[in-house]
Every structure is written in structure tokens, then in C-alpha cells.
Amino acid sequence: MSLNGVEVVVKEDVVVARVGGDIDLANTPAVSAKVLEAVPNDAVGLVLDLSDVRYIDSVGIRMLFNFVRTLHAARQGMAIALPAESPVRKLLKITHLDEATAFATSVEEALVALRETGAPQY
């Protein structure tokens, strides 16, 4: 399914959400709702494919941290797929999001990373 630049597919026990274009104040509420609605309680977690994101503002970055917090509270994991050379990846590393969730260069690598780490342990 696709809505507001978000395409969601389920790969076995993981939800993969592909977001394209810009993530900013104008679309963050719709993107956030669409992504979080798509993750059932029995999923291992979420892979967020940001490969086609050209721009993300501070509201979008906050949304990503909220995804991590929400999923961890439900004992689910999250991984982000972004090419190594992506300017968005560099920005997210500056914010230390890579310390809160796994980063990978492809959806396939992110799926492996998420399944290996699984849900956060408390």
C-alpha cells in the first residue's frame, strides 16, 4: 500500500516501510501515522527504507527517534536502510540516531540486522 510517499510491505515477520521525497513538517504527521499503523504487535519490528529521501528536517528526525522509542516500548526493533553516500545518512549520524537503531546500506542488510538483534532486551 502507498500513501503520502510511504509504501509498506511485510516480509515475513518484519514490516518494511519505504519513504520517498522529503520528510518535513508538512508530511511528518501523516508519514508517522502510516508507518506506526502498519506495524502489528507480533512483528519483530520495522525496517525503514529512506533510500529515496532527499531531505529531512528536525521534525522528521524527531519522528525517527519517536519510532525507535515507540517500537522499543513494544519490545520491537527498528533498522534504517540508507546508502552509505546518502547526505541524509550523514545527517542522521550527526544526530546519533545510529546509536539508537541499526543502520544498513540496503533493505536486505537491514532485515538481517533487525532479525539478528531482535527486540530490545530489558
Please state, in angstroms and rounded to a whole number, the distance separating the CA atoms of residues 77 and 44: 6
pLDDT, residue 20, reads: 93
What does pTM read for this prediction?
0.91
β strands within the chain, DSSP E:
2-3, 6-11, 14-23, 45-56, 77-81, 102-104
Please state, in angstroms and rounded to a whole number, the distance separating the CA atoms of residues 79 and 115: 10
* The domain defined by 21-80+95-106 carries CATH number 3.30.750.24: yes
Query: Sign (positive/negative) of CA torsion 29, 8, 51, 118?
Result: positive
* 86-101 pLDDT per residue, tens: 999 999 999 999 999 9
* 65-78 pLDDT per residue, tens: 999 999 999 999 99
Average pLDDT over residues 33-48: 95
Domain residue spans in the chain? 21-80+95-106
